[in-house]
Amino acid sequence: QVQLVESGGGLVQPGGSLRLSCAASGRIFSLLTMGWYRQAPGKERELVATISSAYSTNYADSVKGRFTISRENAKNTVFLQMNSLKPEDTAVYYCNGKYQYLDYWGQGTQVTVSS
C-alpha cells in the first residue's frame, strides 16, 4: 500500500512561483510513474505532468516551459516546480502514482494564483 501526501500549495501572485512536494510511503516508489494532476472548479481533472521510473517526463501543453517535474527516489518524493504562474493555474493539485494495475492518489493541495 502506498500513501501520498502533497504539500507546498498556497496563494501566489501572477508571475510568481511555487514548489509542490508529494511524499510517498511504501517500498515501491522507484517503480511508480508519478504524476501531478489538477482540477479547477467546475472542470474535469487534467494531467499536468508525469515522470516515469526511468525519469522520462511528459507535460501538458499549457504548462510546458513553466513547470518542471522531478523525483528523488532516495526520499520517496516527487516535486512540481511551478514558475510564471497564471490565474488559470488555480486548482487543486493532486499527486498520483501508477504501476501496472496499481493507482494511488493523494488528497490534493490548493494552489491559488491571484493578485
Q: Which pairing describes strands 46-51 and 33-39: parallel, antiparallel, or unpaired?
A: antiparallel
Any idea what DSSP says for residue 85? -
d(CA 80, CA 4): 14
Share above pLDDT 70 across residues of the chain, in percent, rounded to a whole number? 100
The whole-number pLDDT of residue 1 equals 85
| Contacts (Cβ under 8 Å, ≥6 apart) of 50 | 33, 34, 35, 36, 57, 58, 69
The whole-number pLDDT of residue 26 equals 87
Contact 97, 32 (CB under 8 A): yes
Positions of the chain with pLDDT under 50: none
Contact 23, 7 (CB under 8 A): yes
Contact 27, 90 (CB under 8 A): no
d(CA 112, CA 78): 20
